[in-house]
Amino acid sequence: MASASLSNAAAAAMHLIDYADPAAVKQVPTRNGFGEGLVEAGRRDENVIAICADLSESTRMEAFKKAFPSRYIEIGVAEQMLVAMASGLAATGKIPFIASYAMFNPGRSWEQVRTTMALNEMDVKIAGAHAGVSVGPDGATHQAVEDIAIMRVIPKMTVIVPCDSVQTKQATLAVAARFGPTYLRFARAESAVITTDATPFEVGRAQTFRDGSDVAIVACGILVYNALVAADRLAREDGIECRVVNNHTIKPMDEAAVVAAARDCGAVVTVEEHQVHGGMGSRVAEILAAQHPVPIEFIGVQDRFGQSGNPQELVEEYKMGVSAIYDAAKRALRRKQSRT
């Protein structure tokens, strides 16, 4: 039976924080990593610019604004123009990062994202802040839980959902150096920091954070931490060894890693802070339906809108907490065993 976190070979190889020790796990919003990464990207390339829809502090573009005032544009509450302006600037060789709440960009600006940005393959990076129900008290109008679905369906669009603030910084730097229309999704609330600067990150390459062969838990975003804690509980209490995959790139997804996890474990649980319809789990199911069908359980928002509340209480209310993942893994294992 594997013991907690760093004694696990996969966790050690990934240079993870000791996630099973609450005292060792810092809580930092993923949006902070975006702000730090954007400033560093600006230092590395003078073509990086930032355009914001009146939310520079909330989206953490404020630091870029102070560091590079001549390369920052405040457009106001005009998300559709935000995309159109960025696409025009990208056509001149600039690398625009555009930021708003995910519910408004890409939510409100989807047609411009599709036609002006993606159809023309403009090198624009959308920073979708405050995604998921963990936005908390802002409520359903500001809680984007459909955005992965509407973005992954757009041709040429890259979609990335980092697992913590450190990885969000890494992802920001990676997409700044990588050509093409991109959606980077991150959250508002404080969440566990489980990676370090030494943890590798590559767009399109999933990461195995924990070894196991009984059930594969394929997760993205801040819920990767819940998946790791659930996996340790399953090992400790039930002798069930779960592989935990940080599937941070939704598109292009690492199909080889997904298929390998399904083949090695024989059952899969997908975990995301998003509607179960059309999100990361749906893409995993599409891949496995074509290449290696296995029993799948889906953790996410089950055809509901969000509501106001404490971020962690909302994660629990929408059945995305540790206990929900624990139960789903046991269901997946039973379904696997019933097939043999």
Q: Which residues belong to the active site?
A: 79
Tokens representing 168 are: 């969000």
Of the candidates 77, 102, 187, the one whose C-alpha atom is nearest the C-alpha of residue 136 is 187
Contacts of 123 (CB under 8 A, 6+ apart): 90, 95, 96, 179, 180, 181
Distance separating alpha carbons of residues 268 and 217, to the nearest angstrom: 6
Helix (H) or strand (E) holding 101: strand 95-101
Check if the beta carbon of residue 336 is closer than 8 Å to that of residue 267.
Answer: yes
Q: What angle do CA 200, 147, 17 make, to 5 degrees?
A: 25
- At what angle are helices 223-238 and 322-338 packed, to 10 degrees? 60
